[in-house]
A and B are shown apart, each in its own frame.
Chain A
């Protein structure tokens, strides 16, 4: 897989759930580029695993695992 996956690239993990790579969301909803006249913010997650199936790994169903998360926002009225 490429070193730089495209934003919000989701891959199914059979028997486990899914993983989203380079997950990007704007504060208040919407997709990047996050823009606003007086305030805006963005959150980026490198790896986001959601376990929504009973699995053989022993990981509780419903587990939410995030690796590498960064958030920034500013407001300037």
Chain B
């Protein structure tokens, strides 16, 4: 596998490694902060991001009972900026994400997550196109995952969708247990002052 999605997690067998043990690939741990709403000066905008290429977390190794946490290739970044006078913090926050395939099995079989996109609390846009799907349990044609959101002074909106063609789930002897020609399921939300509008797909 050449590329993995952020925070791809493989659960390790509890018998050998203890409950809650895992291997995490491309682990991303991020946070951001800003002045309280309504404050116009004297605050700080800050953002932190930690990336671990491989993290092995073992809670209780068989026989010895050792707890182990191994990180291979670690990068960390921090940025902050003083609040300019008259620059208000964001009034609202958003989140959004979309995934084409998410498989959780025990034991884990890679890849477990395909086509994951997400946006930060301040809004933005993330998009991914895939020519074909191929995992241990799912196959399919082209797919698109997309997430976008904006935060304005009086309202915020967030929308995400995942779309895949000719999806075959749990194939057996050339027959799909579940088959879908085209799927598009959007999840959209808009939020303004004292008003909420939710539009589930098909409405």
Chain A, range 42-77, C-beta contacts under 8 Å to B: 42-47, 49, 51, 56-57, 59-60, 62-77
Write the residues of chain B forming the contact surface with A, with a CB cutoff of 8 angstroms: 37, 91-107, 137-138, 140, 145, 147, 149, 151, 155-164, 167, 169-170, 172, 177-178, 180-194, 196, 198, 200-203
Dominant secondary structure at the B interface: strand
Interface of chain A: mostly helix, strand, loop or mixed: strand
Q: Is the CB of A70 within 8 A of B187?
A: yes
Residues of A within 8 A of B (CB): 3-4, 7, 13, 16, 19, 22, 24, 32-47, 49, 51, 56-57, 59-60, 62-77
Do residues A76 and B105 form an inter-chain contact, with CB atoms below 8 A? no
The answer to whether A42 touches B178 (Cβ under 8 A) is no
30 A-B pairs with CB atoms under 8 Å apart are A4-B201, A7-B200, A13-B178, A24-B200, A32-B200, A37-B194, A40-B196, A42-B198, A44-B201, A46-B162, A46-B164, A46-B183, A59-B105, A59-B137, A62-B106, A65-B170, A67-B100, A67-B164, A67-B167, A69-B99, A69-B185, A70-B98, A70-B185, A72-B147, A73-B94, A74-B156, A74-B158, A74-B190, A75-B156, A76-B192
